[in-house]
Chain A
Amino acid sequence: MTATPYVVLSAIIFTIGCVGVLTRRNAIVVFMCVELMLNASNLALVAFARQHGNLDGQIAAFFVMVVAAAEVVVGLAIIMTIFRTRRSASVDDASLLKY
């Protein structure tokens, strides 16, 4: 089988996620875009694993999922706390930690 379509799809999804992170202000949407990027990379990993016929990429994808799950837990908790104090989920509003 050829992995090209999967990799192309993965690249498209990754780019969408990347642009989303850079352009959207809503923290939830940014978060979702991060998830998109992670899953795009998962797709690429699985595709290449399949092409090479071994399980290394699959295992790596599992690792990424676990990390993503953990990150969601921590990230959503932070977003919730910020929202409670500021009544806003915009990432640009939380800009006090600077020079």
Chain B
Amino acid sequence: MYADITAWHDAVNIPLVDPTSTNGVLSLIWLVIALPLAGAAILLLGGRFADKWGHLLGTALPIGSFLISLLMFISLIGKDSGDRQVTQHLWNWVDVGTFHAGFDLLYDPLSALFLMLITGVGSLIHVYSIGYMEHDPRRRRFFGYLNLFVAAMLMLVLSENYLGMFLGWEGVGLASYLLIGFWQHKPTAAAAAKKAFVINRVGDIGMSLAIALMFVTFGTTSFTGVSHLAGGATDNTLNALGLLLLLAACGKSAQVPLQSWLLDAMEGPTPVSALIHAATMVTAGVYLIVRSNFIFELAPEAQTAVVIVAVVTLLWGAIIGCAKDDIKKALAGSTMSQIGYMMLGAGLGPAGYAFAIFHLLTHGFFKANMFLGAGSVMHGMNDDVDMRRYGAIRHAMPVTFLTFAMGYLAIIGFPGFSGFWSKDKIIETALADNWIVGLLALLGAGITGFYMTRLMLMTFLTNKRWKEDVHPHESPAVMTIPLIVLAALSVLGGVMLAGNWIQDFLAPVVGVAPHEDPPIPALGVTLLAVLVVAVGVATAWFLVGKREIPLTAPQDVSFATTAARRDLYGDAINDELVVRPGKGLITALLGIDRYGVDGVTTGGPIAVGAVAGQLRRVQNGFVRSYALSLLGGVLLVVLALLVVNVG
């Protein structure tokens, strides 16, 4: 094919993972994971002994991780862009025959940004949880799980090979299960946790098969190894790898068709939702795709599949968000949709990777902000989540309202706010790539404007609809300060784009897109996007803001509304396609087992028993009948001898 790896690298323009060893501050990478992991161990094993100070320790350790990440980030920026990939070998993890996997960590611009997001936003959520979970008798355990969640996610983004990534991947799955079902006394929460876990397993099948295929094809699962050897594999192998990784990403990032767990996951405490949606968990799929860019760049079919999944999901989630009355579920639909944008960016190749990560970061800020804001509202409204019983909360909760408004302006893409820059870039790239995809992404932006405005109106504006015995009040400072910080980040997150900083920073990992002149000038796309969003906002204003909002959801609604309320029949589709055939299969197998296998094993003894029951009648106790049978037997033997000897 090519003379050597460098020639190939130059030819296909895919950056190689080629790290150097760590030194200085950067050799503290392991500590970033170890701190929250130690926190989880202490809090979960400490028992009641740790009840008094558990939440403080559980918050301090992620903050420690954040400070180390910050130091490392500064140190990384100080290096030349070519030297920004460092690796740390901790120990030999698997060393069997020809298969070697080290417990290696990789710190490069991509993981650096993730580290800042996970530890930064994660720490803020920890601080917030101190207030939110104050009256929960199991607060210590909650913080233990949160720390485990953060540690697992850090493992996921810091590992230098797919095997270590899988460890973090599974850790995230476990922690999300524990946290979604944290209020396990509620059957709905227990069921939601189980659902999230099971659906995530489907994605994990993709991940584990991809790792196995990588090992068979390349003999290694390290990013360095795979990125160097990917060019030697056949197209089919690369496409299979890409599709398996996409399946894995769909499970973790709640992309269609594995999306249905995300809405049910709202059963967990609100800080968990914020953590899942902003800092950990759902971003893992996007990370996986961007990290595996050296595979996807060589597998165009798989890349197209990523784009299709992304576009379907971004509309799917947005439509669901339009009809939900539960504030958290409306936000969950919006997350699904925004992750769709990130996946879209990740599916567009080198032109989009950096913007996918950019949107992931800004989304991390504003979505954490809005989820924590929703938690603050619920905190003041006796844990009611139905927006139809909210209204005019802005007076009672000014800080929550103002911070939430920053998140709102960011997510709809109000010019100047962080979401504006990131979403605009993705739409622009999509339009340049394929105008249908681009227009659908634009449509999604319009729907985003609609459902977020609807949420905003129903919650904070319009008339007061809550009951007399509800007394909304502002949350304590420990909850509002994280909100204020996140609101500031939601507003200012866009500075990362200044001077193309984020593209240049990520270039060593994801490469640089060949410069093309866009079919529509960038300014035109921006104006178009703002216009579409404005239409969405105006529609919401006329449909929701100008009308009376009934206290119970009207039932005589259009088919589209009913469908959106029922998550576009995602559960029904799963039931029809998977659950019912699965149940049928199980019933059939059970029947075969009961009547077939059991029939053979228990039928034999039953038959023998029946024959024996009849045969023992021969033992009647009359000596003369025994003598007769003896005579008969002797005669038989004699006859047989005669037949043999004479005949």
Minimum Cβ distance to chain B for residue A79 (Å):
12
Closest to A23 in B: B624
A contact residues around B623 at 8 Å (CB): 30, 91-92, 94-95
1/0 per residue, CB under 8 A from B, across A7-39: the answer is 000000000001001110100001000000000
Minimum Cβ distance to chain A for residue B613 (Å):
9
**When the two chains form their complex, are residues B619 and A99 in contact, meaning their CB atoms are under 8 A apart?**
yes
1/0 per residue, CB under 8 A from B, across A59-99: the answer is 00000000000000000000000000000000110111111
**When the two chains form their complex, are residues B624 and A21 in contact, meaning their CB atoms are under 8 A apart?**
yes
With A99-B616, A99-B617: A18-B622 Cβ-Cβ less than 8 Å: no
B216 at interface by CB-CB < 8 Å: no
A contact residues around B616 at 8 Å (CB): 99
CA of A99 to CA of B613, assembled, Å: 10
Query: Number of B residues contacting the other chain (C-beta, 8 Å)?
Result: 11
CA of A79 to CA of B518, assembled, Å: 120
B621 at interface by CB-CB < 8 Å: yes
Chain A interface main SS type: loop
B628 at interface by CB-CB < 8 Å: yes
Minimum Cβ distance to chain A for residue B367 (Å):
81
CA of A98 to CA of B619, assembled, Å: 5
B contact residues around A21 at 8 Å (CB): 624, 627
**When the two chains form their complex, are residues B620 and A99 in contact, meaning their CB atoms are under 8 A apart?**
yes
B608-634 residues with Cβ-Cβ distance < 8 A to A are 616-617, 619-624, 627-628, 631
**When the two chains form their complex, are residues B624 and A91 in contact, meaning their CB atoms are under 8 A apart?**
yes
Partner of B621, one of A23, A30, A96: A96
CA of A18 to CA of B635, assembled, Å: 12
B contact residues around A92 at 8 Å (CB): 622-624
Minimum Cβ distance to chain A for residue B356 (Å):
84
Partner of A95, one of B617, B620, B628, B631: B620
Closest to A27 in B: B623
**When the two chains form their complex, are residues A98 and B624 in contact, meaning their CB atoms are under 8 A apart?**
no
**When the two chains form their complex, are residues B622 and A95 in contact, meaning their CB atoms are under 8 A apart?**
yes
CA of A18 to CA of B617, assembled, Å: 24
B contact residues around A18 at 8 Å (CB): 631
**When the two chains form their complex, are residues B621 and A97 in contact, meaning their CB atoms are under 8 A apart?**
yes
B contact residues around A91 at 8 Å (CB): 622-624
Minimum Cβ distance to chain B for residue A24 (Å):
8
CA of A21 to CA of B631, assembled, Å: 10
B616, B620, B621, B631: residue with the most chain A Cβ atoms closer than 10 Å = B621
B contact residues around A96 at 8 Å (CB): 621
Partner of B624, one of A22, A97, A99: A22
CA of A94 to CA of B624, assembled, Å: 11
CA of A97 to CA of B622, assembled, Å: 9
B contact residues around A23 at 8 Å (CB): 624
Partner of B628, one of A22, A30, A94, A97: A22
Chain B interface main SS type: helix
Partner of A98, one of B621, B627, B628, B631: B621
Partner of A22, one of B619, B620, B621, B631: B631
B contact residues around A95 at 8 Å (CB): 620-623
Minimum Cβ distance to chain A for residue B575 (Å):
58
With A92-B622, A95-B622: A22-B617 Cβ-Cβ less than 8 Å: no
**When the two chains form their complex, are residues B627 and A22 in contact, meaning their CB atoms are under 8 A apart?**
yes
CA of A91 to CA of B621, assembled, Å: 10
1/0 per residue, CB under 8 A from A, across B591-622: the answer is 00000000000000000000000001101111
Minimum Cβ distance to chain B for residue A89 (Å):
12
CA of A96 to CA of B621, assembled, Å: 6
B contact residues around A99 at 8 Å (CB): 616-617, 619-621
A contact residues around B627 at 8 Å (CB): 21-22
A contact residues around B617 at 8 Å (CB): 99
CA of A97 to CA of B619, assembled, Å: 8
CA of A95 to CA of B623, assembled, Å: 8
CA of A92 to CA of B620, assembled, Å: 11
A contact residues around B631 at 8 Å (CB): 18, 22
CA of A99 to CA of B623, assembled, Å: 13
Minimum Cβ distance to chain A for residue B304 (Å):
79
Closest to A19 in B: B631
A contact residues around B619 at 8 Å (CB): 98-99
CA of A95 to CA of B626, assembled, Å: 11
B65-119 residues with Cβ-Cβ distance < 8 A to A are none
Minimum Cβ distance to chain A for residue B593 (Å):
36
Closest to B615 in A: A99
B contact residues around A98 at 8 Å (CB): 619-621
Closest to B619 in A: A99
Minimum Cβ distance to chain B for residue A13 (Å):
16
A25, A91, A96, A98: residue with the most chain B Cβ atoms closer than 10 Å = A98
1/0 per residue, CB under 8 A from A, across B303-316: the answer is 00000000000000
Minimum Cβ distance to chain B for residue A57 (Å):
19
CA of A71 to CA of B627, assembled, Å: 17
B contact residues around A97 at 8 Å (CB): 621
Minimum Cβ distance to chain B for residue A29 (Å):
12
Closest to B618 in A: A99
A contact residues around B620 at 8 Å (CB): 95, 98-99
A contact residues around B622 at 8 Å (CB): 91-92, 95
B contact residues around A30 at 8 Å (CB): 623-624
Minimum Cβ distance to chain A for residue B585 (Å):
48
CA of A80 to CA of B317, assembled, Å: 101
CA of A30 to CA of B628, assembled, Å: 13
CA of A30 to CA of B623, assembled, Å: 10
CA of A94 to CA of B627, assembled, Å: 15
CA of A62 to CA of B617, assembled, Å: 39
Minimum Cβ distance to chain A for residue B492 (Å):
96
Minimum Cβ distance to chain B for residue A97 (Å):
6
1/0 per residue, CB under 8 A from B, across A31-56: the answer is 00000000000000000000000000
Minimum Cβ distance to chain B for residue A19 (Å):
10
CA of A97 to CA of B627, assembled, Å: 15
Closest to B634 in A: A18
Ordered by A's residue number, 9 sampled pairs between the chains whose C-beta atoms are within 8 Å are: A21-B624, A25-B624, A30-B623, A30-B624, A91-B622, A94-B623, A95-B622, A99-B619, A99-B621
What are the nearest 6 A-B pairs in CB distance? A98-B621, A95-B621, A99-B616, A99-B619, A91-B623, A95-B622
